[in-house]
Homo-oligomer: A and B are copies of this chain.
């Protein structure tokens, strides 16, 4: 099954949702499974067998059709949709990510994704000057046709959203779409969706955000934007992680300077020392982003036509043991594993999928993988 330019059928969307909501199935595993078995529906059928082959001690929890239908129903009633990666409403920038989310929940106006997006993030305990700066930049960028992306947090994030409410802003949540955090910004989230912007999340409806969900949210913020501006940030703060992720994805990184005696500028000044572009006004951002705009709306890139693996026999237990033996806590590339194992690439893919589903594999940037210690299961 491929989604080249059309929409998923209702039945396909149910399968996609069940598969992505399955334990141990992340974006990379999802893509691997669809590549291997041709469709999410086929992958779901094979899942129990794969997990057992991977060495899991119990079967993963796979949501039922009824559960998936219930989530779609909740979404529909909340005015939201679950958009698949090759569908027209899927954010074009997200498709460019290393491991894009196969399905993303969107509430609001998806046409906002067609505006060139710039992320503005920063400290929750921002200073008045920082808030003012965030507002200035967001209002100016919004007025010039940019979509302002942020994380709905207190402080800089909220200021950036507020100042670009009228022109279209995108909030990325760490929890489910119906669980905006913090509570004081619930109304802001509703306003964003109602006024031509969008609120997005990769998490299921009803999901209360935990601390570890925020780095995943930060990854989507960075991925959604052409560039990321950090307005105020202390040393070792979350905004610096977002900036690192943005840099790793090839997004532009900007920082607003501040006095070295102001701890809320320690992170942004550090970014500037690392080579971030210094921002004192919106034109500093526009000057760097403009050259990228001709490519800013890439062609829809669906899931690729699955490679033909029919010629390869399924891997045997001996093959599995060999791969597990060869892997360790240090990430290695797929190519290295294939070369080392002497197996058919399709066999290696299958074994890695099995390990992944069994919760024994960690996926890294660039397609590298490592084995989780047994305690990780």
Cβ-neighbour of A269 out of B129, B257, B260, B273 (below 8 A): B257
For A127, the closest partner residue in chain B by CB is B259
Q: Which residue of B lies closest to A257 (CB)?
A: B257
Give Cα distance in the complex from A272 to B277, angstroms: 10
The size of the chain A interface, using a CB distance under 8 A, is: 20
Contacts of A105 in B (CB 8 A): none
Contacts of A280 in B (CB 8 A): 260, 266, 269, 273
Bound: A196/B260 CA distance, A: 30
Taken together, the copies of this chain in the complex come to 2
User: Complex Cα distance A278/B266, Å?
Assistant: 12
Which residues of A248-267 are within 8 A (CB) of B? Answer: 256-262, 265-266
Query: Do the beta carbons of A278 and B284 come within 8 Å of each other?
Result: no
In the assembled complex, A344 has its CB within 8 A of some CB on chain B: no
Cβ contact of A261, chosen from B132, B265, B269, B278, cutoff 8 A: B132
CA–CA, A256 and B278, complex, Å: 13
Asked if B265 and A257 sit within 8 Å, CB to CB, the answer is: yes
Q: Are B257 and A133 in contact (CB under 8 A)?
A: no
Q: Is A279 an interface residue (CB 8 A)?
A: yes
Task: Note all chain B residues with C-beta closer than 8 A to A279.
Answer: 260
Q: Quick one: CB contact mask for A137-169 with B, threshold 8 Å, 1 for yes?
A: 000000000000000000000000000000000
